[in-house]
Amino acid sequence: MPLLNDKLKMISCTDFRLFLKKLIKDKIEKEWSEHYVDDLNLVILPRNTIKRRYENKGIDLIKLINNPSYYKHVKANVNFNGSLEIEKQQR
C-alpha cells in the first residue's frame, strides 16, 4: 500500500489539479467545480484524503490515473452522485 501513496505524491500539484479538472469535465467528479479545484490547497488537504474520498465512492484513484481502460470504465459507470455503480466495480 505505501507504494501507491508514493506514486500519488510524485504527481506535481499542477498535474494533479489538471487531472481533477479532467474528472470534472468528464462528469466523474460531481461535487467539485473547476473553480474549487483552482482554489484547493493541496498542502493543507493531503492527497491521501482525496484518495480516500474516491475509495469511499468505490473508485481506485491510482488506477484511475494510471489505467486508461479503467478511466473509461469509471466514466461510463459512475452514478448521479459520483460513485461507481456497485455491480460494475472492478477489483
- pTM for this structure? 0.82
Report how far residue 56's alpha carbon sits from residue 51's, in angstroms, rounded to the nearest whole number: 9
pLDDT at residue 3 in the model: 43
As a whole number of angstroms, the distance between CA 7 and CA 62 comes to 8
pLDDT at 12: 84
What confidence score (pLDDT) does residue 1 get? 34
At residue 52, the pLDDT reads: 92
**Per-residue pLDDT of the chain in tens (91 residues, 90 and over written 9):** 334 455 677 788 889 999 999 999 999 999 999 999 999 988 788 888 899 999 999 999 989 998 999 999 999 999 988 898 766 665 5
